[in-house]
Structure 1
Amino acid sequence: MKEVKKEIKWALWLIWLIVFPAGFYIAYHISPGTGIDWRIATSLIGLAVISAYLPFKVDHSTIFIIHWINLAAFLTYGLFFEMLLMQIVLIPLLIRAKMSLKTLYRFPLNSVMFMLISLLAGGVFYLMNIEVSSGFGPLVAASAVYIFIHIFANHIYLYGFNWLIGNRYAFMSSDTKLDYAATMLSMPFGLALYYLLQLLGPSATLLLGIPFLAVTMILRLYNTSERVNTDLAKSAKIGHQLAERLNVSEVLDLFTNKLGDLMPLDYTYVLDVHTSRDELVLLRRIENGQLEPNNLSPVRKGEGISGKVWESGSALLFNKKSEWIEEVEGYIPSDIESIICVPIQRDKRTVAVLLAASKKKNAFGTHLIAILEILCSYLAIAMQNARNYQRNVKRSERCALTGLYNFRYFNEHLEKEFDRLQKGHMNALSLILLDIDHFKKVNDTYGHESGNDLLKELAGLLIETAGKDALIARYGGEEFVLLVSGKTKKEAQMIGEKIRNTVENCTFEIQHDLSKNREMSEIKMTVSIGVASSPEDTDSSKNLLRNADRALYIGAKQKGRNKVAVYAK
C-alpha cells in the first residue's frame, strides 16, 4: 500500500472537524432518539464492541459482522443513536486493525465514512416512509436496502480514497463479494434483535448476542482448521512439484512463485549458508512480484533476523514493524510490517534461510510456521537433488582434466546444430580442429603430468580467446575442437588465426617433473589448425569433422605446422 501524503492526512483531520459536529447536528434534528432506555442502549453498544473484537478470516479477508447490531439500534432508537453507536464501535475496530501513530489518519477517514454512510442509509430509509408498524414485509425490504447502502457506500468510499492516493485494485474482488454476502446474511439477526428488544429489553442482547458470538468463535476455529488443512495440502502438492525439477534455478523459481498461494507476500528472500565464509548469501530476491538482482550484502551468523534464525535454527514471526525494527541490521524495505523467517534444514542442519514479508500487519498466521518448515524441508531436498543431478551431468559431459566439454557431448551438440542449419535457423556452421605441435616432445622432456598442466593452460587460453564465439571441447590427447555456429568458413579461419597467433606469442609455465629439483620452466609452443564449414564443404556432420581433420593434417601439419588451413575440395 502506498504511503499517504502528509497533506492528505491533514486534509482528513480538517474534514473530520467539519463533518463530525455537523453530522451529529443533522442526525439529531432528523431523529433525536428520545426516550432511550440506557440499559438497552448500553447492551447494544457492548455487543457491538465485542463483535468488533471478534472478526474472522476467510482466505486473506478479515470480516467484521456488526451491521446487524447497528440495524437493531437504528430501528429501536433512530439515526442519532445509531450514528453514536457506530462512532463508538470505530475505536475498537481500529485498535483490532492495529492502527499506529503512522496510520492515525484512519480515524478521521473512517469516522467521516461511518457518519456519511449513516446519514445516507438513514435518510433513504426515512424517504421510503416505512414505519415499524408498517408490517413485517415492508420492514424487511427497507432493512435490506438500509444494510445494502451501508456496505455499498462503504465500498465506494474506500475504493475512491485508495484510487485518490494511488492504490489501484479491482473494484469487485472475491473478497469484496464475500463481505457483501456475509453482511447481507446478517440482516435477519438485526431484525430478530430489534423484535426481541421490544419484548425482553436488555436481556435480548444476551439471548441473541451470545449464540451469535459463539457461532462466530466456532467459525473462526473452523476456518483456522480449514486453512491449516488447505495449506498442508498445498504444501504437499508444491513439494511433489519441487521434486520433479532437476535444475536449482527452476526449483527456486517454483518455490518462490508458489509461496504466494499460501500467504499474502510482497517480499521473498532465500539465503544460502556458506559455511566456509560463515555467511548467508542471497540466492533469490523477489520484491513486489519482480525478480531483483542478488546484490545485497551477505549476512553473518547472529546478525539481523535471518542471521538469528540461522544461529538458533528456530523460526521467527513478527506481526508488525514495532516488534522487529530493533532486530534489523542491513537492508530491509521500509514499508514492511509482517515478517516470517524460517530455517531451511536438511539432516537437522540449517543449509539456507527463508525470509518472507508483507506490507500488511498480522499477515501471517502462527500455523504458517509449521507449514513453511515442512515446505522448506521439501525445498532443501529438491535443491540437493538438483545440485547432485547437475553435478553428475557436468561430470558426464566434461573432460575431467581440462574442464572443457568432452567429445561425446560435443558430438551430440554438433548434431543439434546441424539440424538447426538444415532447418534454416542459421546460414553456416563451421568447425575448427586444433592440434598441439610436437606435444610428444613435451611429455618426453618434462613428464606426462607437466604435459597435462600444459593442456589445462591451453584450455584456459582457448576459453579466453574464443569462448564467446565457440563451443570448445577436448577431442582427445592433445587435440581440441571448436564449433562456431552461424560463422562462415572465412570467419572461422579468422578465429583460428587469432588462436594460433595467441598461442605462438604466449609463454607457458609448467613444472619440470623429470629434472632433479622439479623447478618451474617456461616453454613456448605452437598449434596447427584445420577449418571446415557447412554447407560450403559438406551436408553431413560426420564429414564436417573429417574435412576439418583433413585440413589440419594435409593443409597445416604436412606444410610445416603452426598454420591455419581450410578444407579444399
Structure 2
Amino acid sequence: MKEITMPVKWVLWIMWLIVFPTGLLIAYQISPIPDLDWRIALSLILLAVISAYLPFKVDHSTIFIIHWINLAAFLTYGLFYEMILMQLVLIPLLIRSKITLKTLYRFPLNSTMFMLISLLAGMIFYSTGIGSADGFWALVFASAIYIFIHIFANHVYLFSFNRLIGNKYPFFSSDTKLDYAATMLSMPFGLALYYLLQSVGPAATLLLGIPFLAVTIILRLYNTSEKVNNDLAKSAKIGHQLTERLNVNEVLDLFTNKLADLMPLDYTYILDVNTKKNELILLRRIENGQLESNNLSPVRKGEGISGKVWGTGEALLFNKKKDWIEEVEGYIPSDIESIICVPIQRNKRTVAVLLAASKKKNAFGTHLLAILEILCSYLAIAMQNARNYQRNVKRSERCALTGLYNFRYFDEQLSNEFSRLEQGRMNALSLILLDIDHFKKVNDTYGHQSGNDLLQELAGLLIETAGREALIARYGGEEFVLLLSDKTKEEAQSIGEKIRAVIENHQFEIQHDLSQNREITKINMTVSIGVASSPEDTDSAKNLLRNADRALYIGAKQKGRNKVAVYSK
C-alpha cells in the first residue's frame, strides 16, 4: 500500500471542513429531528458504539456490522439524527483500527465518506415516497435499497480514493463480497429494531442488542480458535516442506517466504549462534520484502532483544515501540512497532534466533509465539539436516588431502560441460593435465608425509593461480587436472605456462621427516603440463582427457620435463 502524501492529507482535511457543516445543514433541512425520546436516542448511540468496537474477522476480512443500527436510527428519527450517530460511531471504528498520528487523515476521509453516503442514501429513500404507513413490504424494499446504497457507495468511494493515490486493488474481491453479504443480511435486524422501538421503547436495544453482541463475541472467539488451528496446520505443512530441503540457503529462503505468508511481516532476521566467538552472526536479513546483505555487527549474549532471547532461551513479544525501545542495542529500523523474537532450539539448546518485526502496532497475536516455536524447531532440524547433507556431499566430491575436487566429481562436470559445448552454449572446452616432476624422489628423500605436505601446498598454488578460471581436481597421486570452460587451446596453454612458472619459482616448505632433527626444509619443484581442447582436437570427452595425457607424457615429460605441451594430431 502506498504512503499518503502530505498534499493529499491537506486536501482531505479541506474537503472535510467544507462537507461536514454543509452536509449537516442539508440533512437538517431535509429531515429535522422530531421530538426525541432521549432514552431511545442514547441507547441507539450506545449500541452502535459497542458494535463498532466489536468487529469480527473472517479469513482476511474485518466485518463491522453496524448498518442495521443506523437503519433503525434513520427510520426512527430521520436523516439528521442518523448522520450524527454515524459520525459518533466513527470514533470507536478508528480506535479499533489502531489509528495513529501518521494515519490521522483517515478521520476526514471516513467522516466525509459517511456524510456523503448518508446524504445519498437518505435522499434516495425519501425520493421513493415510502414511509412506515405505506405497508410493511414497501418499507422492506426501501430499507434494502437504503442499506445497499450505503455499502455500495462506501465501496466505490474507497476504491476510487485508492486508485487516485496509486493503490490498485480489484473492484470486487472475496473480502468485498463477504462484506456485502454480511451487511445485507443485517437489514432484517434493523427493521426488527425499528418496530420494537415503537412498541417497547429503549428496551428494544437490549432485546435485540444483547443477543446480537453475544453472537458477535462468539463469532470472534470461534474465529480466533479457527485461526489458531489454521496457523497450526500451516506450520505443520511448512515444517514438512523445510525438512525436504537439503540446502541451507533453500531452507532459509523457504522459511522466510512462508513466514511472511503466515504473519504481517516487514522485517525478518535470522541470527546463528557462533559458539567459538560466543556471538550471534546474521544468516538472513529481509527488509520490506527484499533480501539485504548480512553486513550487520554480531550480537553478544544478553545484548539487545535477540541477545537476551539467546541468553534466556525465552521468546519475547512487543506490540508497541515504547515497550521495547529501551531494550534495543545496535541496529534496528526506526519505523518498527511490533517485534516478536523466538529462540531456535535443538535438543533444548539455542542454536539460532529469529527476530521478526512489523511497522504496525499490535501486529502479532500471542498465539503466534507457540506457532513460531514449533516452526523454529522444524527450522533447526532442517538446517542441521541440510548442513550434514552438504558436508557429506562435500566429502564425497573433494579430495580429503588437498581439498580439491576428486576425479569422480571432475568426470561428472566434464560430461556436463561437454554437453554444453555440443549444444552450442560455449565455443571451446580445454583441459590441462599436470604432473609433478620426480615426485617419487621427494617421498624417498623426505618421507611420504612430507610429500603430502607438498601436495597440499601445490593445491593452494593452483587455486591462487587459476581458481577463478578453471575447475581444479586431483586426478590421482601427484597428478592434477584443470577444466577450462569456453577457453581455447591458446588460452589454456597461456594459463598452463603461468602455472608452470609460478610453481618453478616457488619454494615449498616441508618437514624433513627422515632426518634426525626433522627440520623444516625448503625445496624447489617443477611440473610437466599437457593441454588439449575440443572441438579442435576431439569431439569426445574421454578422448579430450587422453589427448591431454598424451601431450603431457610425449610432449613434456619425454622432452625434458618442466614444460607445457599442447596436443597435436
Q: TM-score range by the shorter chain?
A: over 0.9
Indicate the residue corresponding to 2:85 in structure 1: 85
Question: What SS does structure 2 have at the residue aligned with 1:103?
Answer: coil
- 1:432–1:530 CA contact under 8 A, matched in 2: yes
Distance 2:333 2:183 in 1: 36
Matches within 5 A, 1:548-567: 548-567=548-567
Matches within 5 A, 1:408-427: 408-427=408-427
How far residue 157 of structure 1 moved from its aligned partner, in angstroms, is: 2.9
Closer/same/farther in 2, CA of residues 388 and 420 from structure 1, 3 Å limit: same
Residue number in structure 1 paired with 2:340? 340
> Which residue is equivalent to 1:96?
96
Q: Give per-residue Cα distances to partners, 1:222-261, cap 9 Å, x unaligned.
A: 1111111111111111111111111111111111122233
Moved more, 514-523 or 88-97: 514-523
Of 245-254 and 314-323, more deviation after overlay is shown by 314-323
Distance in 2 of aligned mates of 1:327 and 1:127: 62
Deviates more, 1:368-377 or 1:534-543: 534-543
Q: Work out the CA distance in 2 between the residues paired with 1:271 and 1:25.
A: 61
Aligned to 2:207: 207
- Partner Cα separation in structure 1 for residue 540 and residue 16 of structure 2: 83
Give how far 1:568 is off: 2.2
Counterpart residue number, 2:306: 306
**Displacement after TM superposition at 1:296 (Å):** 2.6
Shift of 1:479: 0.8
* Partner Cα distance (2:159, 2:325) in 1: 31
Give the TM-score of the pair, scaled to structure 2.
Answer: 0.95
Question: 1-side partners of 2:549 and 2:292: how far apart?
Answer: 47
Q: Return the offset for 1:75.
A: 0.8
User: Which residue of structure 2 aligns with residue 489 of structure 1?
Assistant: 489
* Aligned-partner Cα distance in 2 for 1:326–1:154: 42
Q: Deviations over 1:267-291 (max 9, x none)?
A: 3222222222222222222233332
Contact 1:309 1:342 in 2 (8 A): yes
- 1:509 alignment counterpart: 509
In structure 1, distance between residues paired with 2:136 and 2:521: 107
Moved more, 268-277 or 81-90: 268-277
Aligned with 1:360: secondary structure?
coil
- Percent identity reads 83
- C-alpha offsets along residues 68-98 of structure 1, whole Å, 9 cap, x if unaligned? 1111111111111111111111122222222
The answer to whether residue 165 in structure 2 is matched with residue 147 in structure 1 is: no
Range with bigger deviation, 78-87 or 266-275: 266-275
Q: Which residue is 2:109 aligned to?
A: 109
- Is the Cα contact below 8 Å between 1:428 and 1:487 reproduced in 2? yes
Deviation at 1:42, TM superposition (A): 1.0
Deviation at 1:424, TM superposition (A): 3.6
Measured in 2, the distance between the counterparts of 1:234 and 1:101 equals 35
- What letter corresponds to residue 84 of structure 2 in structure 1? L
| Structure 2 gap segments, 5+ residues each | none
Distance 2:141 2:305 in 1: 55
Classify 1:282/1:167 alpha carbon distance in 2 versus 1 (closer, same or farther; 3 Å).
Answer: farther
CA separation of 1:181 and 1:330: change in aligned 2, threshold 3 A: farther
Question: Is residue 356 of structure 2 the alignment partner of residue 351 of structure 1?
Answer: no
Look up the equivalent residue of 2:242 and give its one-letter code.
Answer: L
TM-score normalised by structure 1 residue count? 0.95
Q: What residue number does 1:329 align with?
A: 329
Give yes or no for the alignment of 1:521 onto 2:521: yes
Give 1:3 shift: 4.0
Quick one: distance in 2 between partners of 1:479 and 1:181? 77
Secondary structure class of the residue paired with 1:434 = strand
Aligned to 1:137: 137
Instruction: Look up the match of 1:216.
Output: 216
Change (3 A) 1:65 1:320: farther
Q: CA 1:141–1:290 in 2, change beyond 3 Å: closer, same or farther? A: farther
- Report matched runs for 1:403-552 at 5 Å: 403-552=403-552
Residue identity matched to 1:419: S
Quote the offset at 1:7 in angstroms: 4.0
Q: Which residue of 1 aligns with 2:402?
A: 402
2: distance between equivalents of 1:336 and 1:170? 29
Following superposition, the deviation at residue 459 of structure 1 comes to 0.8
State how far apart, in whole Å, the 1-side matches of 2:143 and 2:62 are.
24
Report the CA distance shift for 1:381/1:470 in structure 2 as closer, same or farther (over 3 A): same
Paired with 1:103 and 1:322, the residues of 2 have a C-alpha distance of 18
Shift of 1:517: 4.1
Q: CA deviation at 1:203?
A: 0.9
Output one character per residue of 1:502-547: Cα deviation in whole Å (capped at 9) or x when no partner.
Answer: 2122233333334444443332221100112233333332222222
Trace 1:275-294 onto structure 2 (pairs within 5 A).
275-294=275-294
Q: 1:118-197 alignment to 2 at 5 Å?
A: 118-197=118-197
2:247 alignment partner in structure 1: 247
CA RMSD of aligned residues (A): 2.0
Superposed CA offset, 1:124-181 (max 9, x none): 2212222122222222222222222222222333334444444443443332222222
Please give the alpha-carbon distance, in whole angstroms, between the structure 1 residues aligned to 2:87 and 2:39. 19
| Residue 170 to residue 299, structure 1, CA distance change in 2 (3 Å) | farther
The one-letter amino acid of 1:485's match is S
Letter in 1 for 2:487: K
How far the C-alpha of 1:56 sits from its partner, in A, is 1.1
Judge conservation of contact 1:60–1:264 (CA < 8 Å) in 2. Answer: no
Name the CA shift for 1:505/1:169 in 2 (closer, same or farther; >3 Å): farther
SS in 1 for 2:474: strand
- CA, structure 1 residues 238+357, in 2 after alignment: closer, same or farther (shift >3 Å)? same
| Cα deviation, residue 373, structure 1 | 1.1
- Which secondary structure state, in structure 2, belongs to the residue aligned with residue 362 of structure 1? coil
Bigger mean CA offset, 424-433 vs 61-70? 424-433
Secondary structure of residue in 2 paired with 1:276: coil
Q: Secondary structure at the match of 1:522?
A: strand
* Rounded Cα–Cα distance in structure 1 between residues aligned with 2:322 and 2:70: 34
For 2:249, the aligned partner's letter is: S
Give distance in 2, aligned partners of 1:541 and 1:562: 26
Q: Assess, with a 3 A threshold, how the Cα gap between structure 1 residues 541 and 269 changes in structure 2: closer, same or farther.
A: same
Which residue of 2 is the match for residue 261 of structure 1?
261
Q: Which letter does structure 2 place at the counterpart of 1:212?
A: F
**Alignment: residue pair count:** 569
Using the TM superposition, give the Cα deviation of residue 377 of structure 1 relative to its aligned residue in structure 2, in angstroms. 0.8
Shift of 1:384: 0.5
Q: Secondary structure at the match of 1:285?
A: strand
Q: Which amino acid aligns with 2:348?
A: K
Aligned AA (2:220) = R
User: Match for residue 21 of structure 1?
Assistant: 21
Instruction: Go from structure 1 to structure 2 and tell me whether the alpha carbon gap of 1:278 and 1:133 turns closer, same or farther (over 3 Å shift).
Output: farther
Per the alignment, do residues 494 and 270 of structure 1 end up closer, same or farther by CA in structure 2, a change over 3 Å counting? same
Paired residue type of 1:128: T
C-alpha contact 1:69 1:190 (8 A) present in aligned 2: yes
Distance in 2 between the 1:306 and 1:99 partners? Answer: 29
Aligned to 1:498, the other structure's residue is in SS state helix
Unmatched 5+ residue regions in structure 1?
Answer: none
